[in-house]
Amino acid sequence: MKPSDTFQPVLLEAAGIQDGFSIKSYRSRGGYAPLEKLLVEKKPAEVVDLVKSSGLRGRGGAGFMTGLKWTFLPKDHPGPIYLCVNADESEPGTFNNRILMEEDPHQVLEGIIISAYATRASTAYIYLRYEYPKSWDALQKAIDEAYEAGLLGDNIQGSGFSLDIYLHRGAAAYICGEETGLIESLEGKRAWPRIKPPFPAIEGVFRKPTVVNNIETMACVAQIARRGIEWFRSIGIPADPDNPRDPGSYGPKLYCLSGHVEKPGCYEAPLGITARELINRFGGGVWKGRRVKAVIPGGISMGLMTEDELDTPLDFTGPGTVGCLGLGTAAVVVIDDTVSIVDFLHNSCRFFAHESCGQCTPCREGTNWSLRMLERIRAGKGRLRDLDLLAEIGDTMGMMPGSTICGLADGAAWPIKNSITKFRDEFENYIKQTNPTGYMETDPVPALPIVTTH
Amino acid sequence: MPTVLVDGQEVEIDADERLNCIEVARRAGVEIPHYCWHPGLSVVASCRMCLIQAGTRNAETGDVSMVPKLVPGCQTPAKDGTVIVTNSEVVRQSRARVEEALLIDHPIDCPICDKAGECLLQDYHFEHGQSERRADIHPFSSRRRDVGPTVTLFVDRCIMCTRCVRFTREVSGTAELMVSARGAKEEIDTFPGFPLDNKLSGNVVDLCPVGALGDKDFLYQQRVWFLKKTENVCGGCATGCSIVTEHNQDTVYRLKPRENQHVNKWWMCDEGRYGWHHLHDATRIVEVSHRNHTHWNTVEWTSALGQLTKDLHDAGRLAVAVSPMLTIEEAWMLCAVARAIDPDAYLAMGHVPSTDHDESFPGGFTIRREKSPNRIGIEMILSMFNALTENSTVPEWKEFLEQIRTEAVQSAWVTAGYPTPETSWCDEETAAVFDNMNCLVVQDLFRSPLSKRATWCLPASGFAERHGTWVNCGHRAQTFEQAIRPPAGVWPEGRVFWSLLGRQGLYDPESIRETIAKNSVGFAALSGDMPSLGVDLRLQQVTGT
């Protein structure tokens, strides 16, 4: 029996319950009681230790240890310290934050209050994606309810701890989800990611120490406070004892399953479930009885897994072992065997060329160049040489080779890299068939106008 | 002493110096190419041209551990034990790729681009780029739009280093420029109705590493490789910005600021930058003329000087107004000439044009209210000649006029040289005071109500035509060379006074400066070769005593 067989949803327990989003429903399920207890019994440093020893890793994409991040804040800082909650969920395929905010906003709020208490932040900002008006309504209603119940505002429950939460709506740019881009945007500036160091923990919003966490991370914090470390560490994949740098992947995770499956949706499963199990158990298999051609493991920027790699566990280290960038947001997109990988890559390149903030030269020009090449390939004027150029762009663009400030370029590079290495034959055949006379050409050709726009 | 290793070369830096890798490498003679970084602006590390390999050397074991990826040199601080590698294959390839990326959307219209010849994109491409174009070829375009009264933008040439945007935010504090759109479509722009219109706007053109921002005043006037550069000092106000006068065949084409941390940092104001046009104004006085009642005669210089001396000699007590546009060498000679003609000559400061107030900018740049470059220097020269008592000061222009009005003197020599062809510095009412002079010598760039009343009207020279030393409002003495020859017929003041003193050969400002330095404690620092950034006279005085 697999661990996922007995797993009961926790983060999504309110889903499907009548009025599950109300404070009454949340309290009836045991919500806010842990917070009230914690405010009396524990010191902020103890809460940090609690989260640290739970092994919770950030759910926003990079998978950084949440408790460890909190300890980077300067000690004895006179304040203010800010908590920023990243709800700018723009990674294609990802919608778990939306489900959490709409179905159970109080779970998120409890996590935010606990995290603010632990980090001694007296102001929290929720940076909400522009395209989420329903989440806005749900969150704003929940915030109002929490103020009424004395769970927000001055001197919460007589503990001496005060917190205000502000909901901030973004203006629809992918780059605002990058933590320093988000900070710039929150300050009212163009969302150009900042150079690091200084990291936000030292100098963030309004040049004050800041913690930036994802919505799902906040929900996990609330669950850890309610159910304890033992429970949290009993779920997921433990740390590899042979690898001292692996902190393990513990806890439940919301997987967003979409694409060519029978039942797409947001499913909660223990970290480490395989893509195959996810598709078959939750998704009802590939639609129309077709076969899987490729799977995006965690949002488009994480790259591609082929059919052979579907048994890779989707934890924080798994996708990396098959050449993907990582788990990302655990947005699993299934691509069936009727899809052309050329079309997939074109779509991916178009997205990143459109969303590149334009600050660093390699990303601004690299994303645009790759889009232009794919436009030309799809127009039947591709050359084999383009594949080498694409591979080179994929290898040299991004934070990992050091050529950009933020990770957007890595996200743009991975689909290129994975598609070209894992599906090179398909690209070559496509080019040879569509451009039988010129596929061996190597001289520069006139550029085509870009016809597909956002 | 902290030691940094640059390509295997050890460079020592001071313990309190905060340098980045670009600055340290420069000390080792290694140039790290960069676009977006500028020492006077904040660091954004976005052009990625300065990517290098960096690491640290363990002081005890000597082991070097390198950062596993490329890092921007501009953002990486150089500390004790920092190891910088700029010549590896990885770095070379990274530079070539950035160059290639920048050229994907660049029109490469160098033959019609004003920047060609001094363009970083060109220079770096020759040095670090690759000869083959791998990207698709774009149709040639050169979209252009005005961003303000002084600056025009060639949109497609821009490489988005954002130096100009940061300048308007951090130095001029006006924030007119911004980046619009996103990704490869982004452009520098202004908000509708808020053009780039501030007193430092011309600096964005200097900052632009490519040909995107063009100075309308200079656009298509001259190819830059024809320009000769002379280190000069701006005469526009008492700040005395260090500048470079760029000229060809005795015509000035543009002025550019020269870095001088003591005076103007990297900047200069538009007033100074475009304040050279008077040099080539058609209405300039270019000949010596002598007035006989209402009749003007043109006189040759050689005979004029003799007659003029004789006229002044015979006219009674002489009063001389020493213009703050003159260099200290010229002023010294003028005073010496005056005292030779009349040992009792009254020496005073000339007219000092000024506005209401200084204008300061957030970046630490100030435009002074006093619109002359050398008031302090002239004051010091005048106090050398006027044996001043404890409480007395150098007589000013007002007091000079009072002397004329009360007829305490019978002849006057007024030096002027103010760069204002349209509006005369001396109005009719002031000029009328001089009506009863026996002999009036006026030395000026342009005709004025005063020059109409002159017995002798002499041409003066402009700032780029002088050679000598000015002392700015901060008591910094800067010596500069003559950039261009004055128009035919004009003798620079130095040559005139040199001849009147009966000196042999060509005018030699160095020898005059040496004499001044020997005879005045205040000027002692001017002895010998002058550093190009000038010397602080007060500082030298303190250390000298």
Q: What is the pLDDT of residues B313-324, one digit of tens each?
A: 999 999 999 999
Q: Rounded distance, CA A268 to CA B369, Å?
A: 71
**How would residue B545 be classed by pLDDT, with cut points 50, 70 and 90?**
very low
Q: Do B19 and B161 belong together in one domain?
A: no
| Gap from B159 CA to chain A (nearest CA, Å) | 8
**Given B279, B304, B330, which residue is the final one in a domain?**
B279
Q: Do B243 and B162 belong together in one domain?
A: yes
Q: Do B198 and B323 belong together in one domain?
A: no
The tens digit of pLDDT for each residue in B485-537 reads: 999 999 999 999 999 999 999 999 999 999 999 998 899 999 989 999 999 99
Residues of A in contact with B44 (CB under 8 A): 192, 195, 359
The percentage of residues in chain B with a pLDDT greater than 70, rounded to a whole number, is 98
Residue-number span of the structural domain to which B38 is assigned: 3-87
Residues of B at the A interface, defined by Cβ within 8 angstroms: 43-49, 51, 67, 69-72, 75, 94, 97-98, 101-102, 104-105, 133-139, 159-160, 178-179, 181-186
Q: Do B101 and B147 belong together in one domain?
A: yes
Asked whether the beta carbons of residue A354 and residue B182 sit closer than 8 angstroms, the reply is yes
Q: Rounded distance, CA A362 to CA A369, Å?
A: 10
Q: Does residue B262 carry a pLDDT above 60?
A: yes
Q: Rounded distance, CA A157 to CA B453, Å?
A: 91
CA angle B349, B445, B406 (to 5 degrees): 40
Largest CA distance in chain B: 92
Residues of B in contact with A446 (CB under 8 A): 136-137, 139
pLDDT of residue B541: 61
The tens digit of pLDDT for each residue in B99-139 reads: 999 999 899 999 999 999 999 999 999 999 998 999 998 87
Residue B255 placed within a domain: yes
Q: Does residue B538 carry a pLDDT above 90?
A: no
* Pair B77, B19: CB distance under 8 Å: yes
Residues of A in contact with B47 (CB under 8 A): 360-361
**Given B59, B87, B115, which residue is the final one in a domain?**
B87
Residue B454 placed within a domain: yes
pLDDT of residue B389: 61
pLDDT of residue A449: 78
Q: Rounded distance, CA A94 to CA A96, Å?
A: 6
- A370 → chain B, closest CA residue: B135
Asked whether the beta carbons of residue A361 and residue B49 sit closer than 8 angstroms, the reply is yes
In one-letter notation, the amino acid at residue A176 is C
- For the domain bounded by A13-171+200-234, which CATH number is listed? 3.40.50.11540
Q: Rounded distance, CA B134 to CA A373, Å?
A: 11
* Pair B493, B334: CB distance under 8 Å: yes
Q: Do B415 and B498 belong together in one domain?
A: yes
What is the DSSP secondary-structure string of B216-282?
TTTTTT--GGG-EEEEEE--SSTT--EEEEEEETTEEEEEEE--BTTTTBT---HHHHTTTGGGG-T
Asked whether the beta carbons of residue B135 and residue A354 sit closer than 8 angstroms, the reply is no
Alpha-carbon distances, residue B302 vs B117, B272, B381, B498 (angstroms)? 44, 35, 27, 12
User: Which of A354, A356, A365 lies nearest to residue B104, judging by beta carbons?
Assistant: A365
Residue B535 placed within a domain: no
Residue B430 placed within a domain: yes
Q: Rounded distance, CA A300 to CA A319, Å?
A: 13
Q: Rounded distance, CA B381 to CA B464, Å?
A: 22
User: Which of B69, B135, B137 lies nearest to residue A369, judging by beta carbons?
Assistant: B135
- A353 → chain B, closest CA residue: B183
Q: Does residue B393 carry a pLDDT above 90?
A: no
Q: Do B216 and B174 belong together in one domain?
A: yes
User: Which of A195, A368, A401 lies nearest to residue B183, judging by beta carbons?
Assistant: A368
Region for B67 from its dihedrals, namely left if φ exceeds 0, alpha if ψ lies in -120 to 50, beta otherwise: beta
Q: Do B301 and B359 belong together in one domain?
A: yes
The helix (H) or strand (E) run that includes residue A210 is strand A210-214
Evaluated on CA atoms A127, A131, A135, A136, the torsion sign reads positive
Q: Rounded distance, CA A414 to CA A421, Å?
A: 10
The domain locations on chain A are: 13-171+200-234, 249-336, 341-434
Q: Rounded distance, CA A386 to CA A363, Å?
A: 18
Instruction: Look at the block and give the residue holding tokens 């055949």.
Output: A429
Residues of chain A with pLDDT under 50: none
User: Which of B133, B134, B184 lies nearest to residue A365, judging by beta carbons?
Assistant: B184
The Cβ of residue A279 has, within 10 Å, a number of other Cβ atoms equal to 23
**What is the CATH number for B505?**
3.40.50.740
**Given B231, B251, B279, which residue is the final one in a domain?**
B279
Q: Do B82 and B210 belong together in one domain?
A: no
Q: Do B81 and B113 belong together in one domain?
A: no
Q: Write down the architecture of domain A249-336 according to CATH.
A: Roll (3.10)
Q: Do B76 and B117 belong together in one domain?
A: no
Asked whether the beta carbons of residue A368 and residue B135 sit closer than 8 angstroms, the reply is no
Q: Which of B50, B53, B97, B155 to mutate to test the interface with A (most CBs of A within 10 A)?
A: B97
The Cβ of residue A153 has, within 10 Å, a number of other Cβ atoms equal to 14
Count CA atoms closer than 13 A to A336's CA, side-chain side.
Answer: 14
pLDDT of residue A445: 87
Residues of B in contact with A195 (CB under 8 A): 43-45, 72, 75
Burial state string for A310-328 with b = 16 or more CB within 10 A and e = fewer than 16: bebbbbbbbbbebbbbbbb
| Gap from B122 CA to chain A (nearest CA, Å) | 17
Residues of B in contact with A358 (CB under 8 A): 160, 179, 181-186
Instruction: Look at the block and give the residue holding tokens 């079309």.
Output: A343
**How would residue B542 be classed by pLDDT, with cut points 50, 70 and 90?**
low
Size of interface A-B (CB pairs under 8 A): 108
Can you name the residues that pair with B307 across neighbouring β-strands?
none
Asked whether the beta carbons of residue A361 and residue B44 sit closer than 8 angstroms, the reply is no
Q: Has domain A341-434 been given CATH number 2.40.160.10?
A: no
Q: Do B400 and B368 belong together in one domain?
A: yes
Number of domains comprising chain B: 3
User: Which of A190, A353, A444 lies nearest to residue B183, judging by beta carbons?
Assistant: A353
Can you name the residues that pair with B457 across neighbouring β-strands?
B289, B442
Q: Which residues contact B310 (CB under 8 A, 6 or more apart)?
A: none
What is the DSSP secondary-structure string of A51-117?
HHHHT-B-SSSS--BHHHHHHTSPTT--S--EEEEEE---STT--HHHHHHHH-HHHHHHHHHHHHH
Residue B534 placed within a domain: no
Q: Rounded distance, CA A78 to CA A74, Å?
A: 10
Residues in chain B: 545
Q: Do B193 and B275 belong together in one domain?
A: yes
Q: Rounded distance, CA A103 to CA A21, Å?
A: 5
Residues of A in contact with B183 (CB under 8 A): 353-358, 364, 367-368
Residue B302 placed within a domain: yes
**How would residue B388 be classed by pLDDT, with cut points 50, 70 and 90?**
low
Residues of B in contact with A453 (CB under 8 A): none
Q: Does residue B293 carry a pLDDT above 90?
A: no
Q: Rounded distance, CA A163 to CA B246, Å?
A: 62
Can you name the residues that pair with B459 across neighbouring β-strands?
B444
The Cβ of residue B172 has, within 10 Å, a number of other Cβ atoms equal to 23
Among candidate residues B403, B291, B408, B424, the one with its CA nearest the CA of residue B349? B403
Q: Which of A360, A375, A390, A396 to mutate to test the interface with B (most CBs of B within 10 A)?
A: A360
The Cβ of residue A202 has, within 10 Å, a number of other Cβ atoms equal to 16
Evaluated on CA atoms B174, B180, B183, B187, the torsion sign reads negative
Asked whether the beta carbons of residue B94 and residue A403 sit closer than 8 angstroms, the reply is yes
User: Which of A190, A364, A447 lies nearest to residue B183, judging by beta carbons?
Assistant: A364
Asked whether the beta carbons of residue A403 and residue B51 sit closer than 8 angstroms, the reply is yes
Asked whether the beta carbons of residue A362 and residue B48 sit closer than 8 angstroms, the reply is yes
Residues of A in contact with B133 (CB under 8 A): 444
User: Which of B98, B139, B182 lies nearest to residue A361, judging by beta carbons?
Assistant: B98
